[in-house]
Chain A
Amino acid sequence: MSKRLLVGVFESEDDTLAAIRASRQRNFKIVDVYTPYAVHGVEEAMGLAPSRIPWVVFALGVLGGGLKVWFEFWTTAVDWPVNVGGKPFNSLPAFVPVTFEVMVLFAAVGAVLSFFFVCRLYPAKRAVLPVAGVTDNRFAVVLEQTDSTFEPAEVQKMFEKLHAVHVEEQITGEVA
């Protein structure tokens, strides 16, 4: 299932933002935007929904902390209670530091893994770039030619007006 794409390449973030806004205005389907750094405002311009990762992180943090406090209680007061320095078997206050650390560890590892998972990032993944330089100094706006109302030449003109350095058409089955 191939797609016809139109890629506009820009040199500055302001131009890119303008191009995104213009495309949105015209209801073009923006496949993605490629930038060398996190450009502020693209999110709103593209109309992306907020990420749900924070919820995952929160849940994992609660889970980690809960598991740990249970584990500490179980090991010291249930499984093998030992008299340590005359302290009670369930020395809850002393369990706080480790619980906190494990909570943070679960949350942080969860955050990173879920980020990798949702972004489909994994070691040695083949990087697919729309055009060269998007990790250096180029900004790319990728539009999908959804239907016949999409006129590539017109869009190219629009991009060029917004100082696009280069506009090209691509056919692919893979670009996400």
Chain B
Amino acid sequence: MAEAAIALPQPLIEGDKSIAQVTHDVCAPMEARPTALWWVALLISSSFLLLGAAAIAYQISVGVGTWGLNRTVGWAFDITNFVFWIGIGHAGTLISAILFLFRQRWRTSVNRAAEAMTIFAVMCAGIFPVIHTGRPWFAYWMFPYPNTRGPLWVNFRSPLVWDFFAISTYFTVSAMFWFIGMLPDLATIRDRATAKWRRKLAGVLSLGWNGSYRAWQRYEVVYLMLAGLGTPLVISVHTIVSWDFATAVLPGWHATIFPPYFVAGAIFSGMAMVLTLMIIARKLMHLEDYITIRHIDRMCKLVITTSAIVGLAYGTEFFTALYSGSSYEQFVFLNRALGPLFWGYWTMVGCNVFVPQLLWFRRVRTNVPAVFTICILVNVGMWFERFIIIVTSLSRDFIPANWFHYAPTRVEVATLLGSFGLFFTLFLLFCRFIPVIAVAEVKGVLKYGKPRLESAHE
């Protein structure tokens, strides 16, 4: 046995589970009454959601003037939040698609939740481009539909139209990916449900899935296809988001480094958010056997990798500015580091570059509270990264007479909190109603790392 253990990779799932146990472990918490802790969490997150909804309703009825924007700084919290949430969304697709293509089987424990996170994050993100417009009731004009105006189409040269297409495609594909992945599990729920409504609902949603292998075969193909399509998609989405800035003329925005820089940043923040959520979920839902310390360890390695890329990008930006010979460009970066928002800049660098360095140490990577804290800090840092990029470039651009500062209003802060409220509310509901772990996939990796014994079934 000892030799076998050395020869084999470590098991992905701990506790020597049987297949039925897996089903039970994941589904049982959903079927039981929600715990008090869950109710408390839902209460908190939904009150934030309500706060945000009220803020948005107020903003839409009164005007964008209820935000702290001005004629110099036309975007701040709104687009910061948008990019932040879109970035968060990237880890889900990364885990489900890219890791799938790389045959990283450890993803199975976390991909469901990560994908859910993606969808919720994209939903949070999608709110902001709509509400940031002065007339959100006309936001649909960004879609090129036949109309009575000539017809007058849209401007396909505008990165905002690219955004519109990228985000809606990304949301659609992610949702489909998630749903396809969930199909066998929905069937499982349907078949073991005792509550009538649950059986009915799962019955409708599971599309009559019955585990037929002919379906499984195509399922695997489609899943691979979606993963294959999702991988360039996820990269394109944040690339396009970065073009919102990179195609502009503003110093500090107008940079070719933005696409890889933003994609790395997105994955970085997304991984941190996945880790945060997984650490919460494994505690709350007692899934320590499925989301093991090794999972956390591996994800931490991804975090440190992307952190290094982001750190390199920060350095490159400064170098490019220095090398450009453009005094506007040089000024913008000096202004970031030493100007009025220096604290934001150094928060960003500290949280995104310095703090993750702790993850070089295995002891840190396997220390759950430490990882949790680092991940929270990374997300704070990544929020500030977007804020700094947007606000410092806008507030002090070419003509000094235009310079002005920016300060958020209560409405903006409430909207940001509301987006977190929406995110966590959806996540909590997800935990209650949908298997947090991809049951069918985990079953497939159960034997991973276990000696294959002929008589495994006495």
What is A's interface to B at a CB cutoff of 8 Å? 11-15, 32-40, 42-43, 46, 48, 51, 53-54, 57, 61, 71-72, 75-76, 79-80, 84-85, 87, 91, 94-95, 97-98, 100-102, 104-105, 107-109, 111-112, 115-116, 118-130, 132-137, 140, 163, 176
Contacts and interface: CB of A to CB of B under 8 A. Distances in A.
The B interface is mostly helix, strand or loop, or mixed, namely helix
- Taking residues whose C-beta sits less than 8 angstroms from the other chain, chain B's interface range is 35 or more
A125 B209 CA distance: 8
25 contacts: A35-B211, A36-B211, A36-B440, A37-B439, A39-B216, A54-B221, A94-B157, A97-B159, A100-B236, A101-B236, A104-B169, A104-B236, A105-B172, A108-B173, A108-B229, A112-B222, A115-B219, A121-B215, A123-B204, A123-B207, A134-B211, A135-B184, A135-B192, A137-B23, A163-B457
Nearest to B443: A37
Q: Which of B205, B216, B452 is most buried by chain A, counting CB atoms within 10 A of its CB?
A: B216
Interface in B159-185: 159, 161-162, 165-166, 168-169, 172-173, 176-177, 180, 183-184
Given A101-B166, A107-B225, A137-B20, A80 B236 contact: no
B176 A108 contact: yes
B208 A127 contact: yes
A10 B191 CA distance: 18
Interface string B210-252: 1111111111111001100110110010011001000000000
Interface in B394-417: none
A54 B226 CA distance: 10
A34 B207 contact: no
Contacts of A14: 452, 456
The list of the 9 closest CB pairs from A to B, nearest first, reads: A125-B208, A75-B153, A121-B207, A137-B19, A137-B20, A33-B213, A37-B440, A97-B162, A37-B443
A33 B210 CA distance: 10
Contacts of B190: 127, 135
A44 to B, nearest CB: 11
A141 to B, nearest CB: 9
Contacts of B191: 127, 129, 132-133, 135-136
A85 B447 CA distance: 61
Contact of A32 (B23, B204, B212): B212
A35 B213 contact: yes
Nearest to A94: B157
Given A127-B210, A136-B23, A43 B215 contact: no
A112 B452 contact: no
Nearest to B27: A136
A101 B444 CA distance: 33
A119 B440 contact: no
B350 interface: no
A97 B214 contact: no
A57 B223 CA distance: 12
B187 A135 contact: yes
A122 B208 contact: yes
A132 B457 CA distance: 20
B217 A51 contact: yes
A42 B156 contact: no
B239 to A, nearest CB: 8
B256 interface: no
B188 interface: yes
A111 B157 CA distance: 29
B152 interface: yes
Nearest to B22: A137
Contacts of B188: 36, 135-136
A46 to B, nearest CB: 7
B150 interface: yes
Contact of A51 (B176, B208, B221): B221
A160 B221 CA distance: 32
A33 B215 CA distance: 10
B208 A104 contact: no
B155 interface: yes
Contacts of A32: 212-214
A53 to B, nearest CB: 5
A125 B157 contact: no
Contacts of B159: 97
A71 B143 CA distance: 13
B252 to A, nearest CB: 21
Contact of B229 (A36, A91, A95, A111): A111
